[in-house]
Chain A
């Protein structure tokens, strides 16, 4: 494995962590929006308590991925920023509104149930819906190979260059897939966070529903890839790793659903997280050796070797600080104790 491939792999690891941690925070927002039934206030409360202490740390995984991308693959970063200007700007607006609205909702005043604070809860929830949709769409645009040297289309018009690459049925289907995957993860995690059996049941049924929906979303993306992302589709079917990967993914998906059915929350959590990770790595492997298919391979996009070496060294040192800290954070807040917003 070359140094550039190693760094590219680390970027996928960061994206993977972001999907499992930050993604679930977005998914929580989706369930806050869809809170229904007699326990809807308690559902929202649980979601807010689960997200509160960790969302900012979870968010840093995205920043890490972006920083590694622009340091180590500047050509890819420049092209992404240019061709995906519109969806990425919308993602940013979503990120800004999600983060600040959540904080305003939880910290806005002393008293909970304040009318204006409720609006922030709604803004938080809607931003949590739109941001993963658009993030997934950008991933779909990358995977479809539409971000070539000359942009999306044959012509040179604004639409062809700046809109056509991402406004495709396939890219949008990946957006929907990402949204459902995040909602699925969140619902699975929330069965563990909940203390009361009724709340656990609420999120169990949501997780089961999302898990089934995820299957159909994957099917839709696969069908659409035939026309819109043939290169990735080919790799996902004919590459030597393809069949074992799909079998493994299917096995984890079924395990997650079965575990939910039998109320084995911890097993469900591990299986769901593995399932989503495998799908993400499937995407990464399918477009290898390209950072941006069809014409920007890892090696050609990479920064000089000295930069890559220093970044890897910095990552190794940083990991020494990061992982014990993350462990400490998760041990304090994710080990079954009632939490309380100060």
Chain B
């Protein structure tokens, strides 16, 4: 394994691990705040129990998210010193703002978790709301920095150096809005449907358990709308990628040749040597229609850039298909649940809906990981699109396979422990009948 590949793998593992916890840290506070608010309004203790249990889960997941986020901020320098030397002054701004958002989040999470008996009910709920708001903000700031790597703005390149730096213009880069919207919705959809899925699974055995029934409704209210809106924001993001990062879209769609009236390629395996995709279903005009809302539009293929500037096409294509398929399933299940709920059905006793939701439990997280593979692998060989190659950004330190394996083992170990702790929390769920 080359040092460059080891560094990329370590970064990928660190991000993939952190993202799960970051997403839960964004969305879980909304769930617990809604439950606490329901407790205030209805006076039913089952909502208080729910809020406390969700807060406990949030405490574990937020702590792991906070420390794994620290790892990432250091790894920017440990693995990519030349990237940071170039990019630090341009995109440090959103990271600084994220620092304050994270401060607020950590402070009020401490207040929320440990303050049940120390502050008024109203102040306690307000602390939870602040955790939820600052959680979204810190996520958005980090995504803005990533968006800049895809569509770098706010500087001029003169002889390999950045001059006329404008950090605000860098923050307002074209990809910032579509990526921030897509990622925020992903956090709510994945976490909401993930929690709904767990409770749906438990309701299959015990459909009249009031604890799980209330949990299901709150989780669906948070995750459902986000899951339905996600395909819309995906369309927005994809049209944006078609204009600003045509190579990424070409890899995602395995479009080897630039052409008008491009078809949408579903599934299949791209054969890069032969420059064609085997075993795929093609929908005529589909890609032109989706990317430019015009069936005759020309879509740039991989042939628009030299061969050595292609990303790994099979990985990007498969990851993109996976993300779209899972997102579509989640949106459909959310619509179904919404339709049944609107008609006043008892969701918990609808066994097929509960099965469909239980199956969806991990889907949002898998889809998000796949989406990050599309955006990160799809940008290669660039770390800053069109400006700096990943190979030129990596640290000169040799032997990077050692830290890669060390952090991978550490994260596998932590992942197993967190999974086991949450499982213990869940199997101890209370028996509350209506």
Give chain A's interface residues, CB within 8 Å of chain B: 52-54, 56-57, 59-60, 62-64, 66-68, 70-72, 74-75, 77-82, 85, 88-89, 91-93, 95-100, 102-104, 107-110, 158, 162, 303-304, 306-307, 310-311, 314-315, 317-318, 321-322, 325-326, 328-329, 332-333, 337, 339-342
Q: How far is the CA of A91 from the CA of B70 in the complex (A)?
A: 11
B63 at the interface (CB under 8 A from A): yes
Number of A-B contacts (CB under 8 A): 223
Contact call B73/A67, Cβ cutoff below 8 A: yes
**Which B residues are closer than 8 A to A by beta carbons?**
52, 55-56, 59-60, 62-64, 66-71, 73-79, 81-82, 84-90, 92-93, 95-100, 102-104, 106-111, 113-119, 165-168, 395-399, 403, 406-407, 410, 414, 417-418, 421, 424, 428
Interchain nearest-CB distance for A105 vs B (Å): 11
Residue of B at shortest CB range from A117? B421
Expressed in whole angstroms, the minimum distance between the Cβ of B288 and any Cβ of chain A is 41
- Can you list 29 contacts pairing A with B, beta carbon distance less than 8 Å? A53-B115, A56-B66, A60-B103, A60-B106, A63-B70, A63-B102, A67-B92, A71-B96, A72-B88, A75-B85, A81-B78, A82-B81, A85-B395, A92-B74, A92-B75, A95-B67, A100-B417, A102-B63, A107-B59, A162-B397, A304-B89, A307-B165, A314-B100, A318-B96, A321-B100, A321-B103, A326-B107, A329-B111, A332-B111
B339 shortest CB reach to chain A, Å:
38
Known A-B contacts A74-B88, A81-B77, A332-B115; the reply to A67 vs B95 at CB < 8 A is yes
B163 vs chain A, min Cβ distance (A): 8
Interface of A is mostly: helix
Check B99–A67 contact: CB distance below 8 A.
yes
**Do A80 and B77 touch across chains, with their CB atoms under 8 A apart?**
yes
Q: Bound complex: CA of A333 vs CA of B424, how far in Å?
A: 29
5 further interface pairs, Cβ-Cβ under 8 Å (given A71-B92, A85-B403) = A53-B114, A60-B103, A81-B395, A82-B397, A97-B410
Contact A72–B89 (Cβ < 8 Å): yes
CB distance from A6 to the nearest CB of B (A): 14
A325 surroundings in chain B (CB, below 8 A): 103-104, 107-108
Which 6 A-B pairs give the minimum distances between C-beta atoms? Answer: A71-B92, A81-B77, A74-B88, A303-B89, A78-B81, A318-B100
CB pair A342 B67 closer than 8 Å = no
Closest to A81 in B: B77
Interchain CA distance A63-B90 in the complex, whole Å: 18
B114 contacts across to A, CB distance below 8 A: 52-53, 333, 339, 341-342
Q: Are A67 and B96 in contact (CB under 8 A)?
A: yes
CB distance from B56 to the nearest CB of A (A): 6
Chain B, Cβ-Cβ closest to A62: B70
- State the CA gap A326–B117 with chains docked (Å): 19
Could you tell me if A78 and B113 are in contact, using CB atoms closer than 8 angstroms?
A: no
Chain A minimum-CB-distance residue to B421 = A108
Tell whether, in the assembled complex, residue A342 and residue B118 are in contact, meaning their CB atoms are under 8 Å apart: no
CB distance from B130 to the nearest CB of A (A): 8
In the complex, are the beta carbons of B84 and A74 less than 8 A apart? yes
A96 contacts B102, C-beta separation under 8 Å: no
Report chain A residues within 8 Å CB of B92: 67-68, 70-72, 74, 303, 307, 311
